[in-house]
Amino acid sequence: MKPWLQAERRSVQRAVQPEGRERRGERQILVFDLSSEELGLDLSCVREVLRPQEIFPLPRTPGFIEGVINLRGHIVALIDLQKRLSAKPIEEKANRRIIVCKVNRFIVGLIVNNLREIITLSGEDIRPVPEVVSMQMDAEVLSGVAKVKEKIIPILDLERILTKKEVSELSRLGE
């Protein structure tokens, strides 16, 4: 295994260790770039982070599915979050990463522009999405917004990022 992959995997695995955070009402959030925006993702669903690798495209899949990768013998579908969330595409690919997560009942890879940091937040730092915003969204893909110093970071809800039909289509890829 390549050293950089081992280092990224170890750092994510160390960060995922709860160490009593749940008892204190804290959550760890992985902050990443998507286009020119920062978004967050609850670290509890993150399995590992990978550098870009060979992607095998599949016919007749939704436009936001880039294809699949072979992850140690397992076929993992890749979701391009820029396409899924209708974000503006950015050509910069040097820092792209694949965040391997558990979504619903299967494993997927999320393609993002760049990883920022892992932050620990108290329950008070995470607020619900304002109702006016959630009413305007096609799908409720946010679980909340985090107030970090002077910044606001939207936190994705991976359980809602895919429709039931898309979950069904993706689950067939693993068969």
User: Dihedral sign, CA of 3, 158, 54, 83?
Assistant: negative
Q: Range with the lowest mean pLDDT among 6-20, 45-59, 75-89?
A: 6-20
CA 124-127-132 angle, 5° bins: 160
Q: Is residue 65's pLDDT more than 60? A: yes
> pTM of the prediction?
0.78
Q: Is residue 4's pLDDT more than 50? A: no
Reported confidence tier of residue 127, pLDDT bands at 50, 70, 90: confident
User: What's the rounded mean pLDDT across residues 143-162?
Assistant: 86
Q: What is the SS3 assignment for the chain?
A: CCHHHHHHHHHHHHHHCCCCCCCCCEEEEEEEEECCEEEEEEHHHEEEEECCCCCECCCCCCCCEEEEEEECCEEEEEEEHHHHCCCCCCCCCCCCEEEEEEECCEEEEEEECEEEEEEEEEHHHEECCCHHHHHHCCCCCEEEEEEECCEEEEEECHHHCCCHHHHHHHHHHCC
User: What's the rounded mean pLDDT across residues 14-28?
Assistant: 61
Reported confidence tier of residue 1, pLDDT bands at 50, 70, 90: very low
Mean residue pLDDT of the chain comes to 79
Integer angstrom CA distances of residue 143 from 116, 118, 155: 19, 17, 6
Go through the domains of the chain in sequence order and give each one's CATH number: 3-15+26-173 (2.40.50.180)
Please answer whether residues 95 and 49 qualify as being in contact, where contact means their C-beta atoms are separated by less than 8 angstroms: no
Q: What is the pLDDT of residue 136?
A: 46
Q: Is residue 78's pLDDT more than 90? A: yes
